[in-house]
Structure 1
Amino acid sequence: MNEILETIFIAGGCAQRPNVLDWCPNTNYIAYAISRDIALVDTDQTDNGYKILETAAGHQAEITCLKFSVPFLHDHTTETTTSSSMLVTGDSKGQLCLWKINTDSRQRISLFKTVCITADLPLTMARCYFWEVENHEGVILASHFDTLSFVRSTSHAGKESEIVLKPLIFTPAYILSFDLLHIASKVLLLAVGLSSGCVKVFYSDQQCTGGFIHGISLDQQRGAWIRDLAFRGPTHDFPGVLPGDSTEFYLASASDNLIRIWRFCQVSEEHVNNSHDGDEMTIRQLLIAINTSECQLTLKVTLDSILSGHDEWVHSLRWHPNALRLISSSMDKNVIIWEPTDNNKQNDSLWYPQARVGDVGGEAAGYYDALFSPDGSKILYHSFFGALFMWELQNDVMSPINCPVGGHFGPVTDLCWESRGRYVISVSLDKTARICAPLANKSSFAEIARPLIHGHALNCVWCTTSVIVAGGEEKIFRVFSAPVNFYQNMERVCGTTLEQNATTYYAATQPELGLSNKAILADSALVSEELNGNNESSASSKTGPPDEEELSTKTLFPEVHKLYGHAFEVFAVAINQKGSVLATACKSRRTCRHQLTVTQIAFSPDDQFLLSVSRDRTWALYKCSSESATNFTLLVKTDKHSSGHSRIIWTCSWTHDSLFFATGSRDKVLNIWSTSSIEEGKVHKKDSYEAPDSITAVDIAHSFYGAGDCYLIASGMDDGRIILLKWMSQTQIQTPNFSHIKTLDRHEAFSGTISRIRFRQKEANKDHTGSGETRSQFEFASCSSTNIVKIHRLIMFN
């Protein structure tokens, strides 16, 4: 028997901070930070469009900065075509990781080395520059508070080593941004933006042998934080430059809501001497005299322009790879592309907003990083709520591109499949619920709807085909009904026809000062206007998944009920298989059967039993009355000695035949319990498995695994790993054993605590291969505290 495990879907929103999104010029991959992980996005439109290929885990804390390596090129317009690149990331505990990106490898991103810059101090920015890419020789820069640290990476005889250089300290100011430029073939120019409103420029030789020497200070508005800096290199290098060719290069700096463009150009020694002659009053020139062992030159710095177009803080500045254009993003919900009236800059010209994109109104809270694609044909930026946006530039005309990449921007607490596995819904502490479903071509999943967008942080969820029950940091559960436009989207985008309930709700809206989604009736004036008004932005006129604007405004579910009864914050929910009985639990000190909070509830597939597990290290089993589906009587109540666990019981799950159930605990033990003696009021432990870490989530597949009474079990752990097990329930064997199938490491699974695992509720797809083998497929979804949702597929050949 052979097994193949593949990841078919990954969702996660970009981190809520700047400097965590970048586009690789070599491999054309997009990388962004999701909590502790790195998401690698495929931009190849010939292969099912944009999607997250994989995530990489190497940090133990939140990633605070991310950037692809910048090779030292003598001509900034030179395009690289190598299939590999380097990526540097830093986290909130001072750890710096260098990653290798390789398109030719099955694992496209792998950890190359780890460098400790500081001890438990957050890194604000990190950059890496290589003058010999193949040998990984270059310099790594990282800033934390008032210190800019340098690590020189060298390679000798195939051995990698690091040399820590003398840091730059800017007390009492804080370092907010920096950028490095390679000029004149032998000189490194470093610009550092400070919280004091000053930009300090340093220089060094290419090998950084003498450290960085201060060249000049560019004072701006006092107290205006320099949030980003970006160099644009000269079109020609200085040595051997032809007459008439430009050696000018630029530095863009963002301070509060203003952008300053500084122009650098090489001047001769004669020009410097003449600038001091005569008695006329002139403006003092800003000059940088660079003197290294291999190069001597003088640069003149002038303030070229001050750009005013944003109303809030500017967080990001990036230059176009070919043209003289600058892109900026701000918390005012605008992204602007700037260019001079004379693009050749042969004469002084004014800069103006060539294009502007963004939002007007709505829930958006502004944008962080904005950048051009490596060929300059697209722009990419991300919002405060973790979504990615993309536009295409063609002949100065901009058109939006649907980039269905993103997800939750807070810890994901729970998820649930629809009763027949046609979609999965997840909830998070980011106060949103998101529905993902397989696309019509079955190539991947995509987000189809966002039933909730704000209110309370959500702890638990359960759903049927047309009803969602969600609970958060409040004392009530809210019930939502699927509107008509959800059924239409499922059929249009996914090719799936759902059984509609007798609803008259077409959609829902979010009141400005309310938490309850308000229903829009199918015969309302708003619906008639949308259906008959030839609205080009209507979701029905598009063929792909809904974009971010549609998801946040047009895919809400109307709230139809509020369920009261709990005195504390709700925590767990479950619905029986018929969808007729709802069980809920809340955080509390004491219940009728448990002393502490009930952590999870599970109905048996035959709806005869209800299982609850608790923080008090016990579990309880109830039986449904034959007279009423809402009456349950206690069958078995364990204590701290008979429960089989010595720590908190986090999770439980039933087998599909209702003969066994599993419990998982912080004590690293997975217990299997048999209900064969349930008529006698007894449940005995059938088997136990000791995991390498605390068990926080468990689920059992909805069909047998292979031949015989073999069950497939997925167990998620506190460290983010997932263990796949098969368990034989043969009664003639006294001590049946678990068999290990596969362990998903932190790269394949998660880097943080797994919140929930759910197998897809459908029969295992079985077909015959050309070699006569039978192939079965099992799919399961999982989520974690690191803001990520993944769907895996296990293929078994026998």
Structure 2
Amino acid sequence: MVEIKADFLAAGGNRHPSAADWDQNSDLLVFGASNNVAVWSPLDTSYHGIHALLPGHTDTVSAIMFLYTPNSTPLFISGAADKTLRIWSPDPSSPNGFICSQVLTDHSASIHSIATVPGSTTFTTGAADGTVKIWRSVFDDAGSFVKADLVHSITLIPRHFPLCLAVAQLDSETMVLAIAGTRTAIQVYIFADYGYSLEATLTGHEAWIRSLSFTRETSDANSDLLLASASQDKYIRLWRIHAGQELPPSSRAANDPSLGVLGKSLSNKAHRFDTQENFYSLTFEALLLGHEDWIFTANWHRQGPNLRLLSASADNSLSIWEADPASGVWICTTRLGEISAQKGSTSATGSTGGFWIGLWSRAGDSVVSLGRTGSWRLWNYDKTKDMWMQDVAITGHTKEVKSACWAADHTYVISTGSDQTTRLFAEWTGNGNRSWHEFCRPQIHGYDLNCVSSIGPGRFVSGADEKLLRVFDEPSAVANLLERLCGIKTHTEGKLPDAANIPVLGLSNKAIQAVEDNADVDDQDDERIPIDPASVVLKSTLDIRHPPHEDHLARHLLWPETEKLYGHGYEISAVAASHNGKVVATACKASSIDHAVIRLYETKEWREVKPALTAHTLTVTGLAFSHDDEYLLSVSRDRQWAVFQRNSENENEYKLAACNPKGHSRMILDGAWAPGAGPRLFATAGRDKAVKIWKLEGKEATVVQTLAASTSVTAVAFAPDVVHESYVLAFGLEDGAVGIVRIRCGDLSVASADTMDRAIAPTKTVNELSWRKIRGETMPGSESSTGVELQFVVASDDASLRLFKISDLLS
């Protein structure tokens, strides 16, 4: 059986304030990545990124929280738009390290929030059905999770969506629950085994409330409870729950000079309630000002006697708040992120769109944030420098990954997708470890991107919904970065531009030159034209000694655009470059023969090679050149495939050599050529749940092997070399499954057929498969490689990019 192992996983985080949690025992951070749950260790010094993507949910994961366990094992709960809650338990026998122990289906709408209590087996969940449910988890004598039981169900009146929850232990018998969301008020309940009751409604916020967090004021378990509420009105409010008949000392908020006249209007109404053990009062404590946009999360952390609050905002900042020891006024002591001057724009040179999540590490000396681009940022506190320093974190696509390919020399992967970005991933070898990272973001676009293909060294072409294709060349900043950190030497001839940017109101990446740090950038002929800050980049900014952080990826590591390829009338559907880099074939969406043409462009002058190739009547879904570029294969929704042969007199021209109008009984979704100098073999994959292997002889092709699948086959690819006298074929299905088949070169029979473990396979449609060259040398007198280790990358609709390694091909 083939051994398949995940080498690298890339996935962006979901933009939901509740969709991540950092365990305070194991240092694992778990977050929602499309419909999967991603597991990551931010403090891992080997920088191996995402450990696993846990399948199970069928819709976007929107809430995650770790749950207390008696034996301190990392147990967590996830909730999603599929209306279900899943409880995950560690399992060393699972390929992902976790298994789903229970699925809770009591909610009737999308889950929005989960809250737990340290040291308690109780947890609460809130959903768009307007209910909050209180659960209790059950453990066996060994401390292993058994099940979760529903204890209470609260129907919110007036009905609203509970976007955030917070729970705390009020006394030995009673807990306090705060609920807020799509109203401007916070509802406070107390509950115990005997029932629950609404005790207070806190007003003051002027917009939706996105985050709630409880903590004790001191390390004493009997000290007052503090509740922080963060809102889209740009403010954080602190509330105090005090035990006893007497009210606590009056809040200093109204006397805070920083509030000006606002302080006079702050209400400090006391809400009183009691439990079976004590009397309590709930009062307004403080108003925290400083953020300039919506605040999505606010989380407490205690480090010794110091109590700190971390807030994440759409103004691109993380703020750390502490109470001034002398006055008691809460002030922002640290601000991380980006300056306000870069706020507002979502272009490549503007803002990254704000922070949706901010979390503390267990020790409190590290914080992470998740931004609009799906990328995480990590800051560590350096005691010697007395400042917070940014460290390497993880990135990934936030929507469907539509296409992925290896560079011409198979050194890095280029991917593109519906999040309108093209990303380059490579292996970092300069730190003593080997780990994969995103090293640049060549294209940040305004349209969904559908396909990408590498054209020789340091160049690629991408197609989008804008009806044209764009060609990009590698800048020297990226070439130097890849050579310095990955050992990838550039083969591009001539002088490269330093970097690229998108001008104000521009749509194309323009080449720019870096300037010295002490250069006078204001020196220009026309003083009436203001300097565009995005057009200036310092050389020191591009001199990076580690995988780039998100702020570099979003602004400084674009590739300059060198050409646009026009001609198609609809959204681009497929693109392929010849292996010699001299020809690019393209196609677009089509419902008639007039648009279902294949256009060829020569890459020297970038002129279209006419006439366009005709054979199909509907959208061409896949294009592939044979390994010697002698043939071009096209497959289409019209159920036929076509093979075009190169003109012997002009290597840029192709003409129809063979076609089959009934190649499959339903639409054909992909095609690929087999390697080697033996018989001409190609594979086609279709909606009819079959992969067909064809042998081309002259102008005829016959089926030599048919591989059946469980559902529609959406992607197919041959390994680039023959391995032990066998062709290795991978195919991906509509449900995310991936099959690996070995076909003997001699009689073309199936030597082995394996299916990837669904625990590590994508959970949605596989859009593209691309193989990396085999590690190993070719044996003298044989086409076979001595190496038995292959790698291939999978692009999927579940917003993940996965790199797999295959070994034990002979077993």
Give me the TM-score of the superposition, normalised by structure 1.
Answer: 0.87
Structure 2 residue aligned with 1:75: none
Q: Does 1:698 align with 2:698?
A: no
What SS does the corresponding residue of 2:506 show, helix, strand or coil? coil
Do 2:499 and 2:513's aligned partners in 1 also have CA atoms closer than 8 Å?
yes
Give identity over the alignment, percent. 28
Q: Aligned pairs, how many? A: 734
Change (3 A) 1:467 1:526: farther
Deviates more, 1:105-114 or 1:658-667: 105-114
Change (3 A) 1:318 1:50: farther
Change (3 A) 1:775 1:469: closer
What SS does the corresponding residue of 2:481 show, helix, strand or coil? helix
Structure 1 residue aligned with 2:526: none
Structure 2 residue aligned with 1:513: 505
Q: 2:732 aligns with which of 716, 723, 733?
A: 716
Following superposition, the deviation at residue 513 of structure 1 comes to 0.9
Structure 2 residue aligned with 1:381: 369
Following superposition, the deviation at residue 67 of structure 1 comes to 1.7
Do 2:187 and 2:200's aligned partners in 1 also have CA atoms closer than 8 Å?
yes
Q: Does 1:226 align with 2:245?
A: no
Do 2:131 and 2:153's aligned partners in 1 also have CA atoms closer than 8 Å?
no
Paired with 1:284 and 1:450, the residues of 2 have a C-alpha distance of: 50
Q: 1:487 aligns with which of 468, 475, 479?
A: 479
Following superposition, the deviation at residue 445 of structure 1 comes to 1.5
Q: 2:445 aligns with which of 447, 454, 478?
A: 454
Q: Does 1:203 align with 2:203?
A: no
Change (3 A) 1:87 1:155: closer
Paired with 1:128 and 1:155, the residues of 2 have a C-alpha distance of: 16
Paired with 1:753 and 1:674, the residues of 2 have a C-alpha distance of: 28
What are the Cα deviations for residues 374-397 of structure 1, in whole angstroms up to 9, with x where unaligned? 111111111111111111224593
Gaps of 5+ in 2: 251-266, 343-349, 522-535, 597-613, 780-784
Change (3 A) 1:97 1:336: same
Letter in 2 for 1:55: L
Letter in 2 for 1:556: L
Do 1:183 and 1:233's aligned partners in 2 also have CA atoms closer than 8 Å?
no
Paired with 2:318 and 2:423, the residues of 1 have a C-alpha distance of: 26
Following superposition, the deviation at residue 108 of structure 1 comes to 2.1
Deviates more, 1:401-410 or 1:389-398: 389-398
What SS does the corresponding residue of 1:321 show, helix, strand or coil? strand
Following superposition, the deviation at residue 528 of structure 1 comes to 7.2
Do 1:227 and 1:254's aligned partners in 2 also have CA atoms closer than 8 Å?
yes
Do 1:466 and 1:501's aligned partners in 2 also have CA atoms closer than 8 Å?
no
What SS does the corresponding residue of 1:175 show, helix, strand or coil? coil
Following superposition, the deviation at residue 537 of structure 1 comes to 5.2
Structure 2 residue aligned with 1:390: 378
Q: 2:270 aligns with which of 274, 277, 286?
A: 286
What SS does the corresponding residue of 1:124 show, helix, strand or coil? strand
Q: Does 1:635 align with 2:616?
A: no
Paired with 2:161 and 2:577, the residues of 1 have a C-alpha distance of: 53
Following superposition, the deviation at residue 764 of structure 1 comes to 4.3
Change (3 A) 1:129 1:610: same
Following superposition, the deviation at residue 369 of structure 1 comes to 0.8
Q: 1:476 aligns with which of 465, 468, 473?
A: 468
Paired with 1:487 and 1:528, the residues of 2 have a C-alpha distance of: 24
Change (3 A) 1:521 1:214: closer
Do 1:130 and 1:139's aligned partners in 2 also have CA atoms closer than 8 Å?
no
Following superposition, the deviation at residue 775 of structure 1 comes to 5.5
Paired with 1:40 and 1:418, the residues of 2 have a C-alpha distance of: 28
Paired with 2:477 and 2:626, the residues of 1 have a C-alpha distance of: 33
Structure 1 residue aligned with 2:64: 66
Q: Does 1:35 align with 2:47?
A: no
1:611-622 maps to which residues of 2 (within 5 A)?
611-622=633-644
Change (3 A) 1:189 1:317: same
Do 2:622 and 2:669's aligned partners in 1 also have CA atoms closer than 8 Å?
yes
1:146-295 maps to which residues of 2 (within 5 A)?
146-154=130-138, 160=147, 162-163=149-150, 165-205=152-192, 209-221=193-205, 223-233=206-216, 235=218, 247-255=223-231, 256-268=233-245, 271=246, 286-292=270-276
Q: Does 1:138 align with 2:122?
A: yes
Following superposition, the deviation at residue 398 of structure 1 comes to 2.8
Q: 2:300 aligns with which of 319, 343, 346?
A: 319
Following superposition, the deviation at residue 219 of structure 1 comes to 1.7
Deviates more, 1:210-219 or 1:577-586: 210-219
Q: Does 1:55 align with 2:53?
A: yes
Q: 1:784 aligns with which of 788, 796, 808?
A: 796
Structure 2 residue aligned with 1:359: 338
Change (3 A) 1:529 1:621: farther
Following superposition, the deviation at residue 527 of structure 1 comes to 11
Letter in 1 for 2:54: A
Paired with 1:285 and 1:267, the residues of 2 have a C-alpha distance of: 16
Deviates more, 1:495-504 or 1:158-167: 158-167
Paired with 1:474 and 1:340, the residues of 2 have a C-alpha distance of: 52
Structure 2 residue aligned with 1:582: 584
Gaps of 5+ in 1: 72-79, 242-246, 276-282, 768-772
What SS does the corresponding residue of 2:186 show, helix, strand or coil? strand
Structure 2 residue aligned with 1:278: none
Letter in 2 for 1:177: C
Paired with 2:119 and 2:492, the residues of 1 have a C-alpha distance of: 62
Do 2:240 and 2:285's aligned partners in 1 also have CA atoms closer than 8 Å?
yes
Change (3 A) 1:231 1:129: closer
What are the Cα deviations for residues 657-684 of structure 1, in whole angstroms up to 9, with x where unaligned? 2621111112110110112x22xx1100
What SS does the corresponding residue of 2:470 show, helix, strand or coil? strand
What are the Cα deviations for residues 319-373 of structure 1, in whole angstroms up to 9, with x where unaligned? 013331101111111211110001xxxx861010101112121232111111211
RMSD (Å) for aligned C-alpha atoms = 2.8
Q: 2:97 aligns with which of 88, 108, 113?
A: 108
Paired with 2:336 and 2:718, the residues of 1 have a C-alpha distance of: 47
Do 1:232 and 1:319's aligned partners in 2 also have CA atoms closer than 8 Å?
yes
Letter in 2 for 1:690: A
Paired with 2:209 and 2:700, the residues of 1 have a C-alpha distance of: 69
1:525-674 maps to which residues of 2 (within 5 A)?
538-540=541-543, 542-589=544-591, 590=593, 591=596, 592-640=614-662, 643=663, 645-657=664-676, 659-674=680-695
Q: Does 1:301 align with 2:257?
A: no
Change (3 A) 1:730 1:498: same
Change (3 A) 1:475 1:367: same
Following superposition, the deviation at residue 633 of structure 1 comes to 1.6
